[in-house]
Amino acid sequence: MGNLIWKELINEWRSREMVVSMFIFGLAVTLVFAFAFNVSPVLFRQFAPGLLWVVILFTSVLGLNRLFSYEGDMDAHWSWISAPIDRGIVFFSKLLIGFIFLSMAELLFIVPFFLFLNLDVSFSILFFLGILILGNSAIISIGCLISGLALRANMREVLIPVLLFPLASPVVIAATKSTVFIFQNKPFEEWRIWILILFTFLLTSALLGYLLYDQIVEE
């Protein structure tokens, strides 16, 4: 598994395509939202959690596409498909890498996000980071599963969001709700259920991905 992670990291380091493009895209979408929702700062504060997760969701689609498509260059993926490794491990490595890169890009565009939308930071940073971690991993988890399905499709760039958005709706709802509670500094007991939902989603999709990856990967 370490071997696979190392391979992914070097690939990204050489091209730097994923993190950079995700960051710039996130920034661009934030800008569009700032223009499109021309409202007072007070109202923006109410919208902000939802907007944030929309930006994250859209950005993840970009990353997911790239995460899987580069394996097709020179048919590189055949190297690990025909190797005596558990292909579920490859799924986990993609999940981990996707999560790392999404989080990196996110941490970069979150600062402008808060800046442009004039949001104050009067909430628990710890909880906020926690929900970001959980939400990101849930999105990437189901995203990796879907990208594996759409890998050889003719309209892959369209198919991934079309499949991802409905399937990830519990994540969007749960993450947004949790973020709202976090921004309002409400006690944990009130939004505990949403965390539970996110965890369940993450575990289920990760497990399904691990179990079903064998079936998906062969031609």
Partner 1 sequence: MSFLALRVNKIHFLLAAFLSGINIFLILTIAPQNQLQPDFGNIFYIHVPVAWTAFIGYMLVMIFSILFLWKQEQTWDHFALASAEAGTMFMFLVLITGPIWAKPAWGHFWVWEPRLTTSLVLFLIFLGYFMLREFGGNPEQVSRYAAVLGIIGFLDVPLIFLSVKLWLPELQSHPQVGQYFEDAGIMPVLMITYSLLSLLVVISFMIRFRVHNLKRRETHKII
Partner 2 sequence: MQVEVSGLCKSFYRQTVLNKVSFTVPSGAVVCLLGPNGSGKTTILKILSSITSIGSGKVSINGKEIFPGDPSSRKFSLYIGHNASLYPSLSALENLFFISGLYGLNASVDKIDEHLRFLSLDNHRDKQIKFYSQGMLQRLKLAVADLIPSPVLYLDEPLNALDQEGTNLFNDLIIKWKKVNRTMLIATHNIDWVLGVADRIITLKNGQIDLDLDLKVMSKEDAGNLITGSS
Q: Which of partner 2, partner 1, none does 173 bind, CB closer than 5 to 8 A by kind?
A: partner 1
The verdict on 150 binding partner 1 (CB under 8 A) reads yes
Q: For residue 199, how far is the Cα from the chain centroid?
A: 15
The verdict on 154 binding partner 1 (CB under 8 A) reads yes
Tell me which residue has tokens 């944990």: 188
Q: Which of partner 1, partner 2, none does 169 bind, CB closer than 5 to 8 A by kind?
A: partner 1
Q: Which of partner 1, partner 2, none does 79 bind, CB closer than 5 to 8 A by kind?
A: partner 2
CA distances in angstroms from 83 to 62, 79, 87, 147, 212, listed in the order given: 29, 6, 9, 21, 17
Q: Could you tell me which of 196, 153, 152, 190 has the C-alpha nearest to residue 174?
A: 196
Please say which residue, 1 or 158, places its beta carbon nearer to partner 1: 158
CA distances in angstroms from 89 to 54, 57, 71, listed in the order given: 29, 24, 16
The CB-of-166 to partner 1 minimum distance in angstroms stands at 4
The CB-of-38 to partner 1 minimum distance in angstroms stands at 25
The alpha-helical segments, DSSP class H, found in 86-155 are 87-116, 125-150
Kindly identify the residues of this chain, within the stretch 169-208, that bind partner 1 according to CB under 8 A.
169-170, 173-174, 177, 193-194, 197, 200-201, 204-205, 208
Say if CB 137 and CB 99 are below 8 A apart: yes
Among 153, 184, 185, 188, binds partner 1 (CB under 8 A): 153
Task: Write out the residues near partner 2 by the rule CB under 8 A.
Answer: 3, 6-7, 10-11, 14-15, 73-87, 214-215, 218-219
Neighbour tally for 117: CB within 10 Å: 18
The CB-of-84 to partner 2 minimum distance in angstroms stands at 4
